[in-house]
């Protein structure tokens, strides 16, 4: 796993881009109103790291966002050959470093 760190970061960024867009309801069209809405949503989600909360509007449930669970599943548990399935002992409990990686990837590259 450690030998694949740069590959993991790239794969995670790619998977998160599509997850984040649909999860938070970003508009995909390039209209002026759509871009303004997306920009406002990004500012709101980054303010106080709201994206990390289960209820991001009221800032409740820190680190319990369904987005994080979806990202973990898509990245490490989607099929029987994924790292989370093969090396499950490294994911139970979920390492804090993995959660930090997910949060950083969402914050820096996805929103």
Write down the pLDDT at residue 9. 84
What digits encode the pLDDT tens for the residues 2-39?
566 678 888 999 999 889 999 999 888 788 999 999 99
What digits encode the pLDDT tens for the residues 55-103?
999 999 999 999 999 999 999 999 999 999 999 999 999 999 999 999 9
The DSSP annotation for the chain comes to -GGGHHHHHHHHHHHHHHHHHHHHT---S--HHHHHHHHHHHHHHHGGGGGGEEETTTTEEET--HHHHHHHIIIIISSTTSHHHHTGGGSSSPPHHHHHHHHHHIIIII-
Round to whole Å and give the CA distance between 21 and 90.
29
Q: Is the pLDDT of residue 1 over 70?
A: no
105 burial class (0-12, 13-18, 19+ CB within 10 angstroms)? buried
Write down the pLDDT at residue 29. 75
Write down the pLDDT at residue 102. 94
Round to whole Å and give the CA distance between 96 and 18.
24
Residue boundaries of the structural domains of the chain = 2-110
């Amino acid at each position: 796993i450690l030998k694949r760190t740069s590959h993991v970061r790239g794969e995670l960024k790619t998977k998160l881009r599509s997850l984040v867009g649909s999860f938070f309801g970003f508009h995909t069209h390039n209209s002026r109103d759509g871009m303004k809405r997306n920009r406002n949503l990004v500012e709101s989600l980054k303010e106080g790291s709201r994206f990390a909360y289960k209820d991001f509007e009221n800032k409740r449930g820190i680190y319990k966002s369904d987005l994080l669970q979806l990202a973990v599943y898509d990245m490490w548990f989607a099929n029987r050959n994924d790292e989370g399935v093969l090396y499950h002992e490294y994911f139970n409990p979920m390492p804090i470093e993995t959660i930090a990686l997910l949060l950083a990837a969402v914050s820096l590259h996805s929103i």
